[in-house]
């Protein structure tokens, strides 16, 4: 849960071990696993969607709507959550919404491009 301390398991390589020099190039290629995406807008962001049907707060069904709403509110916490959990297609669809300021449209396009592999 965000905002609370928690125990985590950390693994460290023994850099003083004689075999570390052969292991270092392998460790340099290790990447952390992709974080799990939230399937719904979390409770701490629900105030941004105060007049929204709860069914639209599911990312797989309402991702385009969620992205549009986040762009209209420009809430930093909401945008950070959206950058981690919404797909590039959601941001591209939101960028096409009518009445968006050009700077906000550019933000949506950048978020879409950032999420592409």
Of residues 7 and 68, more confidence is placed in 68
Is residue 23 a part of any domain in this protein? no
pLDDT of 46 strictly over 60: yes
Is residue 77 a part of any domain in this protein? yes
Q: List the end-to-end C-alpha distance of the chain, in Å, as a whole number.
A: 27
**Domain range enclosing 68:** 39-115
pLDDT at 76: 95
Q: Read off the pLDDT band of 116 (50, 70, 90).
A: low
SS (H, E, C) 36-105: CCCCECCHHHHHHHCCCCHHHHEHHHHHHHHHHHHHHHCCHHHHHHHHHHCCHHHHHHHHCCCCCCHHHH
pTM recorded for the entire structure = 0.70
Is residue 14 a part of any domain in this protein? no
Q: Read off the pLDDT band of 43 (50, 70, 90).
A: very high
Number of domains in the chain: 1
| Tokens read off for 115 | 């999420």
Q: What is the mean pLDDT of residues 41-46?
A: 95
Is residue 29 a part of any domain in this protein? no
Is residue 92 a part of any domain in this protein? yes
Left (φ > 0), alpha (ψ -120 to 50) or beta: where does 14 sit?
beta
Q: Read off the pLDDT band of 1 (50, 70, 90).
A: very low
């Amino acid at each position: 849960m965000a905002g609370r301390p928690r125990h985590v398991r950390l693994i460290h390589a023994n850099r003083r071990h004689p075999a570390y020099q052969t292991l270092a190039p392998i460790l340099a290629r290790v990447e952390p696993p992709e974080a799990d995406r939230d399937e719904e807008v979390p409770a701490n962001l629900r105030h941004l969607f105060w007049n929204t049907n709860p069914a639209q707060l599911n990312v797989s069904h309402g991702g385009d709507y969620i992205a549009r709403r986040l762009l209209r509110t420009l809430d930093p916490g909401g945008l950070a959550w959206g950058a981690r959990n919404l797909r590039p297609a959601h941001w591209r669809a939101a960028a096409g919404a009518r009445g968006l300021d050009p700077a906000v449209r550019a933000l949506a396009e950048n978020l879409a491009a950032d999420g592409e592999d």
